[in-house]
Amino acid sequence: MLDADAFRRWMAAAAAAVEREAGSLTELDAAIGDADHGANLRRGFAAVAAELAKDDAPDSPGAVLTLAGRQLISTVGGASGPLYGTLLRRTGKALGDAPEVDAAALAEALGAGVAAVGQLGGAKAGDKTMLDALEPAVAALAEAAGSAGPYAAAAAAAARGAESTVPMRARKGRASYLGERSEGHQDPGATSSALLFAALEKAAGE
Ligand code: ADP
Ligand code: MG
Ligand code: MG
């Protein structure tokens, strides 16, 4: 079971990963976008970490994610801010005020969050976006929920999903303006989604 502390650790680990990988995320975005993905997420997750470090930080998993999502929406200008913000807010809302959640409950809530991302951005699997990492990660989490290491399974699926975007042609977001020239590059948002699930694995202590 993961409590609010574990969720705060998740967001702190995500902030640290984004800080560490900001350069490579921006490099990926330089190839098929506008070279700001690392800076966008670094700004957003730094705001999330600062908010969650306060004394009156929220005390349920759902409230932690709702607050984090709100911060991302209000601090990130790029497409990824509203999209990740929606993911976390919708997931947090689905978790409600339960003091602890297990992998099955988190997978179900994340499923609602990922569906909301699809609705907001109009993208589907195979369009070379963050969804190509998020969808398989959530599916793996749901499938492994009853067995050992569900968070490791989700992180591995997210990483494979990010790699799977390399040959894809982008159909949504800035990269889609490049048409076939977007092929052969890993999608920046799918790459940061893999970081998010690696951070969850770390926070869950697997
Ligand atoms: P911007 O493109 O506005 O500069 P970022 O560079 O921060 O924003 O984020 C780009 C990432 O956002 C892409 O790599 C992609 O994964 C994701 N993205 C962009 N548009 C969409 C969309 N419509 N649906 C899902 N994800 C998207
Ligand atoms: Mg960009
Ligand atoms: Mg931009």
Give this prediction's pTM. 0.98
Domain ranges of the chain: 2-204
43-85 confidence digits (pLDDT tens): 999 999 999 999 888 999 999 999 999 999 999 989 999 999 9
3-state helix/strand/coil string of the chain = CEEHHHHHHHHHHHHHHHHHHHHHHHHHHHHHCCCCHHHHHHHHHHHHHHHHCCCCCCCCHHHHHHHHHHHHHHHCCCCHHHHHHHHHHHHHHHHCCCCEECHHHHHHHHHHHHHHHHHHHCCCCCCCCCHHHHHHHHHHHHHHCCCCCHHHHHHHHHHHHHHHCCCCCCCCCHHHHHHHHHCCCCCHHHHHHHHHHHHHHHHHCC
Superfamily (CATH H level) for 2-204: DhaL domain (1.25.40.340)
Distance 159 CA to ligand 1 centre (A): 17
Going residue by residue through the chain, which has 206 residues, state the pLDDT in tens, using 9 for 90 and above. 999 999 999 999 999 999 999 999 999 999 999 999 999 999 999 999 999 999 888 999 999 999 999 999 999 989 999 999 999 999 999 999 999 999 999 999 999 999 999 999 999 999 999 999 999 999 999 999 999 899 999 999 999 999 999 999 999 999 999 999 999 999 999 999 999 999 999 999 97
Distance 48 CA to ligand 3 centre (A): 19
Ligand 1 site residues, Cβ closer than 6 angstroms: 29, 33-34, 36-37, 40, 78-80, 83, 117, 121-123, 129-131, 172-174, 187-190
Distance 33 CA to ligand 2 centre (A): 5
